[in-house]
Amino acid sequence: MTLPRIRQLVFASRDAADIERLREVLDLGPGFVDPDVRMFGLTNGVFALGNQFLEVVVPVEEKTAAGRFLDRNQGLGGYMAIFQTDNLHRVRAHADANGLRRVWDIDAEDISASHLHPADIGAAIVSIDEARPAASWRWGGPDWQSSARPGAIVQLDIVAVDSESLATRWAGVLGVTAQDTGHGIWDLSLAADRIRVVPGDRDYLSTYTLTHPDPEACLARAKAAGLRVQGSSFQFAGVQVSLLPD
């Protein structure tokens, strides 16, 4: 497995029914409810797409980070992006040296991770995780391989007031180069996926691009579920989900 890469993207919602709604629209396998997210005042569902993951988190307590995010952003944008690295020591050293606060750290036998403060890194919580072994993924649950469905996360789009500054911060954490493609748009090429940062009037995760065996069926289910469908994408929990054939 070549790193760094996008390993998991997260939606936030006030509606617990959105967990099952995402599963139905994308025809995903059974989700994993992580009991550890209760420490953050949340419930969730994590779904395996190939060997990557989509997650929906829902606040179940008052005064949670996810609840504040939903209030502040008024439902616009993705909640969190989780990347996999093979050198978390470098990431932590870089973050500490550049004033990017670590708001949560874990060092377990099978995984180490650090969450970076969204006010510092920009747009959302960014988690950098080092899994042991690299093909494993604690957050997907103990049996995620058996419930995985074909597909992949291939691109994350971010809108930023200062696209160059945000792209540079994210690139520094991930250990890649931010490439200026013109008109204020910056590309970060990862091992098997990419990040695109475009200028806008606020900072947020705008689009998750996925490959799927049957995008048309997904779009039909999204429309039947009352989600807004436009072209090859649908809106879900404040994020545009764009679908490409697998």
Per-residue pLDDT at 190 exceeds 70: yes
∠218-222-228 over CA atoms, to 5°? 130
How confident is the model over 80-87, as a mean pLDDT?
97
pLDDT digits (tens, 9 = 90+) for 25-55: 999 999 999 998 998 999 999 999 999 999 9
pLDDT at 75: 80
pLDDT at 177: 97
How confident is the model over 74-102, as a mean pLDDT?
96
pLDDT at 3: 83
How confident is the model over 101-109, as a mean pLDDT?
97
How confident is the model over 149-154, as a mean pLDDT?
98
Q: Give, rounded to a whole angstrom, the gap between the first and last alpha carbons of the chain.
A: 19
Could you write out the DSSP letters of every residue in 77-95? SBSEEEEE-S-HHHHHHHH
Per-residue pLDDT at 133 exceeds 90: yes
Per-residue pLDDT at 246 exceeds 90: no
How confident is the model over 67-82, as a mean pLDDT?
92
pLDDT at 187: 98
Question: Where residue 1 falls among pLDDT bands split at 50, 70, 90?
Answer: low
Question: Where residue 128 falls among pLDDT bands split at 50, 70, 90?
Answer: very high
Closest CA to 59 of 75, 47, 48: 75
pTM of the predicted structure, to 2 decimals: 0.97
Average confidence score pLDDT of the chain? 96
Q: In degrees rounded to 5, what are phi and psi of residue 61? A: -135, 165
pLDDT at 8: 98
147 alpha-carbon distance from chain centroid: 19
How confident is the model over 124-149, as a mean pLDDT?
97
